[in-house]
Structure 1
Amino acid sequence: MEFRTFDIQGPALIDLKLLQDDRGFFARTFCTQEFEDAGLTPAVIQCNMSYNYKAGTIRGLHQQIDPAPEAKLVRCIRGRIIDVIVDMRPDSPTYLQHVKVELTADNRQALYVPEYFAHGYLTLEDDCEVTYQVSHAYTPNTERGFRYDDPAFGIDWGREIAVISDKDAAWPLFADRDDVEKPAPLPAPRQAQLKEDA
């Protein structure tokens, strides 16, 4: 695997190294030692899959907080998605900045989502499937969410949202919340970039 980092500390975009022959290819998709060597949390306690009928379906932004924060490894195994994570670590110099990548069944990339980041994705095709490896068992009372269109994050999803759950549409705006730290003034929204030397 090849681990590429961003100018936000913690997330990584992971490319597979394909061993190809006339049959096709073989690739390692996860390795505890390689994750540890890259400074990533290697624990996998639970694996999840989501299926989405329609292009324009959005899920998120979701976050797991103490005492059960989750690191995630997200991969699109059918179709194409825009995957977005937002740095929700109040003590981080990149607080509220976001990473946006396109994950597809063809590029076979995965996005590593550190603990305390909010995560969401938008489907770009019908019939998308997404898998998640997570570092903690799902704990309902530790879940919170954020609006996909919150101006505090400034995320450009690149297309109209066609399908969203009532729950995800109803999250309060960041500025109106009392359960998150709000520095004054709020930092300008910014999308992180892959490091050039990666």
Structure 2
Amino acid sequence: MEMIGQAAQASLRGLMDLPPHCDRLPVAKPPLRLPTTSQEAATLRAWAETQPDRPAPASLQQISKHLSFIAAAIPGRAMDEESGKKRVAVYSSILADFSNDALSYLARKACETCDWFPTPRQCLEILRKYRPPASDRDKALMLYHRFWDGRFEEFMATLRSGTATERDIATAPRQWRAIAMEQGYLRWIDDEKRYVIRLQPSAAAAGAV
């Protein structure tokens, strides 16, 4: 019952003296809150783009810890140390792409649902049901897009209300102006190479009075 846990520890002894993995220094993390300025939004996006788009894979030590946890709780087939090491190598290879949080989920679910130490196929079946929480990268990008969605709605609201100025039009992103033209709020003056506010029927009628 304890053989897999013992083998996992034994198989890692030769790796413990390796130097730690060193990544480049991270960009300073901004506050994860809704931006109030375009500069704050740009900072959020710039930080998010430096972050990995998926969690880091678990280390061999973390994989060993989770296998040992499962082995301590669920009986498995008895085997000698050499066979145990080979089995750990197989499990480590199969689980190497999963994050530490995913393997924590695997360990909990295996203890809840398995009568015997899970096979590699059973491990993968459990992991397919794992849904990671939103990462800080995801939150930063969501806040970035929420900020600009709000600014776009404000821009369109000024056009609908007739309070937009020529400066509002000139400083708006090109895509916003194209959408506003499609919806009939702006028109393109080809000779001047610029968008201008299209006079709405209600405003035209009021001016004629």
TM-score, reference length from structure 1: 0.20
Higher relative contact order (CA 8 A, sep 6+): 1
Bigger share in helix = 2
Task: Return the structure number with greater strand share.
Answer: 1
